[in-house]
Amino acid sequence: MRILHVASEAYPFSRTGGLADVMAALPAELVRLGHQVSVLSPWYADLLGTPHEIWRSGDLRLGEIVEAGVRFLFLETPAFKRPGIYHDDDVQRFSAWGRRVLTALQAAGVRFDVLHGHDWAAGLVVAHSNLRRLPSVFTIHNLQYQGRWNLYESAGWTGLPDWFARVEDVEFYGDLNLMKAGLIYAGHVTTVSPTYALEITTPQFGEGLEGVLQERRRQGQLSGVINGLDQERWDPRTDGHVLPYGDMAGKAANVAALREEFGLDDAPILSCVSRLAVQKGLDILLAALPEIVKSWNVVLLGSGDVQLEAAFSGWARRSPRVRHVTGMNEALSHRLYAGAHAFAMPSRFEPCGLSQMIALRYGTPPVARRTGGLADTVPEDIGFLFDDATPEAFLEALQRAEAALATPTGWNARAGRGFDLDFSWEGPARRYLDIYRQVAGD
CATH number at residue 323: 3.40.50.2000
Is the same domain home to 201 and 321?
no
Residue 132 makes CB contacts below 8 A (sequence gap 6+) with 102
Element (H, E) at 63: strand 60-67
Is the same domain home to 91 and 196?
yes
Is the same domain home to 109 and 152?
yes
What gap in Å lies between CA 426 and CA 145, rounded to an integer? 28
Residue 15 is assigned to a ligand binding site: yes
What gap in Å lies between CA 2 and CA 134, rounded to an integer? 13
Is the same domain home to 220 and 118?
yes
Is the same domain home to 317 and 410?
yes
Is the same domain home to 153 and 83?
yes
Answer whether residue 336 is part of any domain. Answer: yes
Answer whether residue 235 is part of any domain. Answer: no
Element (H, E) at 57: strand 52-57
Answer whether residue 129 is part of any domain. Answer: yes
Is the same domain home to 54 and 84?
yes
Specify the pLDDT at position 442.
58
Answer whether residue 27 is part of any domain. Answer: yes
Answer whether residue 236 is part of any domain. Answer: no
pLDDT along the chain (442 residues), means of 10: 97 89 95 98 95 95 96 96 91 95 97 97 97 97 95 88 82 94 97 97 97 97 96 94 97 98 98 94 98 98 95 97 93 97 97 96 98 97 98 98 97 97 96 97 73
Strands (DSSP E) along 239-397, which ranges?
269-273, 297-301, 322-325, 342-345, 366-369, 384-386
Is the same domain home to 265 and 173?
no
| DSSP annotation string for 194-242 | HHHHHHTTSTTTSTT-HHHHHHHHHTT-EEE------TTTS-TTT-TTS
Is the same domain home to 9 and 50?
yes
Answer whether residue 240 is part of any domain. Answer: no
Specify the pLDDT at position 18.
84
Specify the pLDDT at position 155.
85
Answer whether residue 172 is part of any domain. Answer: yes
Is the same domain home to 169 and 280?
no
Is the same domain home to 290 and 174?
no
CB crowding 251-269: b at 16 or more within 10 Å, else e: bbebbeebbeebebeebbb
Is the same domain home to 41 and 175?
yes
Structural domain of residue 350, as residue ranges?
248-420
Counting the structural domains of the chain, the total is 2
